[in-house]
Structures are given as C-alpha cells and as structure tokens.
Amino acid sequence: MGGMNFCSNCGAAVERRIPPGDDRPRYVCGSCETIHYQNPLLVVGTVPTFAGKVLLCRRAIEPRLGYWTLPAGFMENGETLLAGALRESWEEARARLSGEALYRLFDLPHVEQVYVFFRGHLIGGRHAPGPESSETALFSEEEIPWNELAFPVMFDVLKGFFEDRRRGAFPVTVGGLGISPADFWQRTRRAE
C-alpha cells in the first residue's frame, strides 16, 4: 500500500500515529480525526485445465511484461471470490470455466496481498488473449515455461497443482510461498 499525505474525507494533512485504543500506527487526519486504515488486498485467480494442460497468459502490461501467468487480478467490491476469479479468467484469457472448486490460498505479507485460486475445466478448450495479454496457450507440465513465469506465486501454485494431480487429490490449503522470491527472481532473470 502506498503512503498517504492528505485526508480523503476533508483534505487536511494526515499524520502517522497510534490512535487511542489501537496498537499500531495509522494515517489519522489532524483536522476531522478520520482514521485511514490500510489492509491487505485480495487477488483472485484460476487454474484452468483442458486435456491435461493448464492455461497461461503472456502479460502485455507491466509489471513483468512478456512473462507468463495464470489468470488473476484484484478482487472488486460487490463480487464474490469465485465471480472475481471467473471475471479475471475472461478478461485476461477469454476463458470460461466449469466445475470450479476452491483450490489454494497464499499469504504474501511482504506485498500485503492474499491470493485465492480456484481450479476448473476450460470449457471447449477455447481461449484467446484479452486486452492485458499478448498470447494465451495450454501447457503440459513439461511444457510450462518455468523460467518465464511472472510471479513466485504462479510458480508455487503450478508446482503444487501437478503434484496434486499425480496424487489424484486436490486439498484446499493455505500457506506462504514455497519458493523464495530471491530464488524465483534469479531463476526467471532474462538473459540480456
């Protein structure tokens, strides 16, 4: 979350201090006393599968332009987790899913985000790039561009998905990243 200079309610300057009864610093308005809380963001996405392959999108926007990702994005007000995940799947990959199931939650406290992934069947195997993607494609485990993935969380959810498929069980789990961000960035550093 970014910093804050002015109160979004009254326009006066905010200060950083611990409000009475609280135990951590917040942005507080020096004039109208509004406390501006900042909280983690939810990112919702899917693991769309067809004929044993997983659908990925190549990013047409920064950050990580040109790298591959599962369809995912910020959850919007007024929608459910699943509705948001399906919306992102359509927006980024023109993908429609069936048989959706809650799959995996990831804590990313260092970037103040929580990811929630659903898995599902890609209807008709149909997909196409939306405005934020330059390309969409289905990949088997061997074909996944492991060194060209956009974000560490995508590496983890894909690794986990293929392991789960070998075991034939897809438990819903929550946890942090398995791969360290440093290892991931090293692995996916583009050759110049």
3-state secondary structure of 164: helix
| Interface characters, 142-171, with its own copies (x: CB under 8 A) | -----------------------------x
> Which residue in the block uniquely carries the two structure tokens 């693991």?
47
Tokens of 89: 């799947």
Bridge partners of residue 115, in order along the sequence = 43, 106
Interface with its own copies in residues 66-105 (CB under 8 A): 74-83, 102, 105
CB of 137 to its own copies, least distance (A): 24
First to last CA, the chain: 32
Residue type at position 130? G
Contact region with its own copies (CB under 8 A), list: 108-116, 122-130, 152-160, 182-190:
108-116
117 with 47: CB under 8 angstroms?
Answer: yes
Q: Among 20, 24, 166, 190, which residue sits at the site for its own copies (rule: CB under 8 A)?
A: 24
Contact region with its own copies (CB under 8 A), list: 30-38, 50-58, 159-167, 177-185:
30-38
